[in-house]
Amino acid sequence: MDLRGVGVGRGIAVGPIRRMPDPLPEPDDAAHPGDAAAEFAAAQAAFAAVAAELTARGATAGGAARDVLEAAAMMAQDPTLADDVKARIDAGKTGQRAVFEAFRAFQDLLIGMGGYMAERATDLGDVSQRIIAHLRGVPAPGVPQSETPFILVATDLAPADTALLDLDKVLGLITREGGPTSHTAILARSKSIPAIVGVTGALELVDGTLVIMDAAADLITPAPSAALIADAKSRIAARAAVASIPIVDGALADGTKVPLLANVGSPEDGPAAVELGAEGVGLFRTEFLFLDSKTAPSVQDQQEKYSALLSYFPGKKVVVRALDAGADKPLAFLNSAHEENPALGLRGLRALRASEQILLDQLTALKAAQDATAADLWVMAPMVADAEETRYFVELAKSLGLKTVGVMAEVPSLAVMADQVFAAADFVSVGTNDLTQYTMAADRMLGSVASYQDPWHPAVLRLVKMLGDAGAAAGKSVGICGEAAADPQLAVVLVGLGATTLSMTPAALADVRAELATVTLEQARRKALAALASSTAAGARAAAAAA
């Protein structure tokens, strides 16, 4: 029977599935047979084996992945943890139980510290599972090793797992949990891995079953017929052909320009964006640079990083977002208090305003980067609620010498107040991921509500229209920088609603460029009107296709 979920991107993959092993059950709290020395020796051997394996995997992966894996290997060699395990074995626990308890105690300690330390508790849990798996003689949790390509099926994947995926082996990703705009999904899209998330029944797929997964259709077909396989393969080839079409600037069939920009997370993303034809940067997620920092970055450090990115785009627009800390992206130096609902908490501009020196330092660094490079720097604030917050940010940034200053539309209240917002800001960029999350009241991290996380919903589109109309009336730019811009059909509708630029992961540029070239502005507007008049996301998608 076919399975459904929420597709990330437009990719198609055909291949056998491999299940990510389930987490191990908690080891029994039973006494060991009596030989504490043998029990501890086995535990020590497991610690050493896991440390060696993590180090070796790090060396193979290289780059940022190596740092993540080496940090995990260090945890497996931590003498304090080994001492604690020994003490528990001496007190009668089995090696497995002692490892479980010692790591859990340490994890609790980290969680109690909050922020960055609490984030590391997950990594510690992963190391503990690996050591216990070794002691049990069962496969370690984590992405299975395989000589041949496969489609990975998992309950969920951490961003760190996704970053490490071997692209020669992993053809696609299917998860039971996770929303289409979770950061795991965003990473999958940036690596061009077809992914379908929030798939009920994913874990019932038997290892080795051949499936077709079609992210654009949100569909997984197990044991497909030869005809379906042939059709899927020809569509995969057609997609590859689109990617090789010569790069031109983004434009509609009637010549209306729609600049296509890149979403980036570090200066290292610059060259690939340029190579794939980005006409500038529409969203630089600066907080990605500092996810592991315990203290606020210096002005000097920031200036170097921002200048490095800007230097790839002389004469081009680069939109840099002020640190967007909180919810799924906590920064230790900006978010400390525990919040029951962090997505509704002190995040984005709210957190920056509460720690104003950090905002001043970032804006100072950006002003220096503006002066030091030939790029056209635009600066914007995340999570802005209304015109008062807009004025606060714009006035502050301009008082420090920044030329072009705007805000992101991610909170529905900002769209409702769009006329006032445009009176205060030079531009608005719509973050459709959060705008959808808040409009639909559906946590973007949660698989159980993934179906609500659909920017095609007419409620979201109506808010975009309010922003588009207000932007046109003010004669100002209305960008889109959420994942919605990377969906070619939706990109057309967004232009019809008044978007003047689209920004996306560079991997999506070719598909969107090709689709825009097939419609005129009048046709895009007609499709937008049809979508706005629908009552559901699926209805809007169908109505836009038919219009």
Catalytic residues: 183, 481
Q: Which stretch binds ligand PEP (CB under 6 A): 26-34, 36-44, 53-61, 429-437?
A: 429-437
211 binds, among ligand PEP, Mg ion, none (CB under 5 to 8 A by kind): none
Q: In this structure, are residues 334 and 352 in contact, taking their beta carbons and an 8 Å threshold?
A: yes
Q: Does 348 bind ligand PEP (CB under 6 A)?
A: no
Name the burial class of residue 407, with classes exposed (0-12), middle (13-18) and buried (19+) by CB atoms within 10 angstroms of its CB: buried
Q: In this structure, are residues 214 and 234 in contact, taking their beta carbons and an 8 Å threshold?
A: no
CA dihedral 61, 66, 71, 72 (to 10 degrees): 0
Interface with ligand PEP: number of residues (CB under 6 A): 10
Q: In this structure, are residues 366 and 301 in contact, taking their beta carbons and an 8 Å threshold?
A: no
* Residue selected from 481, 508, 512, 516 as contacting ligand PEP according to rule CB under 6 A: 481
Residue 391-420 contact track with ligand PEP, rule CB under 6 A, x = bound: -------------------x----------
How does DSSP assign 192-215, residue by residue? T--EEES-TTGGGSPTT-EEEEEG
How does DSSP assign 247-293, residue by residue? P---B-TT--B--EEEEESSGGGHHHHHHTT-SEEEEEEGGGGGTT-
Q: Does 431 bind Mg ion (CB under 5 A)?
A: yes
CA angle 30, 35, 40 (to 5 degrees): 80
Q: Does 259 bind Mg ion (CB under 5 A)?
A: no
CB of 431 to ligand PEP, least distance (A): 3
Residue with Cβ nearer Mg ion (88 or 329): 329
Residue with Cβ nearer Mg ion (410 or 426): 410
Across 115-198, where does the E strand assignment appear? Answer: 150-154, 170-175, 195-197
Residue with Cβ nearer ligand PEP (218 or 434): 434
* Residue selected from 434, 454, 487, 511 as contacting Mg ion according to rule CB under 5 A: 434
d(CA 90, CA 34): 9
CB of 191 to ligand PEP, least distance (A): 16
Residue with Cβ nearer Mg ion (153 or 185): 185
Classify 74 as helix, strand or coil. helix
Q: Which stretch binds ligand PEP (CB under 6 A): 427-435, 465-473, 491-499, 515-523?
A: 427-435
Q: Does 178 bind ligand PEP (CB under 6 A)?
A: no
Q: Does 365 bind ligand PEP (CB under 6 A)?
A: no
CB of 382 to Mg ion, least distance (A): 6
Q: Does 7 bind Mg ion (CB under 5 A)?
A: no
Q: Does 412 bind Mg ion (CB under 5 A)?
A: no
Q: Does 361 bind ligand PEP (CB under 6 A)?
A: no
Across the beta sheet with 6-8, the strand order is: 3-4, 219-222, 210-214, 12-19, 150-154, 170-175, 195-197, 6-8
Q: Does 506 bind ligand PEP (CB under 6 A)?
A: no
Residue with Cβ nearer ligand PEP (73 or 327): 327
d(CA 4, CA 12): 14
Q: Does 189 bind ligand PEP (CB under 6 A)?
A: no
Q: Does 184 bind ligand PEP (CB under 6 A)?
A: no
Closest C-alpha to 160, from 262, 75, 71: 71
* Residue selected from 432, 453, 500, 534 as contacting ligand PEP according to rule CB under 6 A: 432
Residue with Cβ nearer ligand PEP (86 or 189): 189
Classify 369 as helix, strand or coil. helix
What the block records as the tokens of 297 is 């970055």
Q: Which stretch binds ligand PEP (CB under 6 A): 113-121, 298-306, 430-438, 527-535?
A: 430-438
285 binds, among Mg ion, ligand PEP, none (CB under 5 to 8 A by kind): ligand PEP
182 binds, among ligand PEP, Mg ion, none (CB under 5 to 8 A by kind): none
- What are the angstrom distances between the C-alpha of 125 and each of 46, 152, 321? 15, 21, 33
CB of 182 to Mg ion, least distance (A): 12
Q: Does 107 bind ligand PEP (CB under 6 A)?
A: no
Cβ partners under 8 Å of residue 266, min gap 6: 288, 289, 305, 309
267 binds, among Mg ion, ligand PEP, none (CB under 5 to 8 A by kind): none
Q: In this structure, are residues 436 and 163 in contact, taking their beta carbons and an 8 Å threshold?
A: no
Q: Does 283 bind ligand PEP (CB under 6 A)?
A: yes
Residue with Cβ nearer Mg ion (326 or 506): 326
Q: Does 335 bind ligand PEP (CB under 6 A)?
A: no
Cβ partners under 8 Å of residue 312, min gap 6: 267, 270, 271, 273, 274
Closest C-alpha to 511, from 240, 273, 253: 240
Q: Does 282 bind ligand PEP (CB under 6 A)?
A: no
**Binding stretches for ligand PEP (CB under 6 A):** 283, 285, 324, 410, 431-434, 481-482
Task: Please report, as ranges, the residues that interact with Mg ion according to CB under 5 A.
Answer: 410, 431, 434
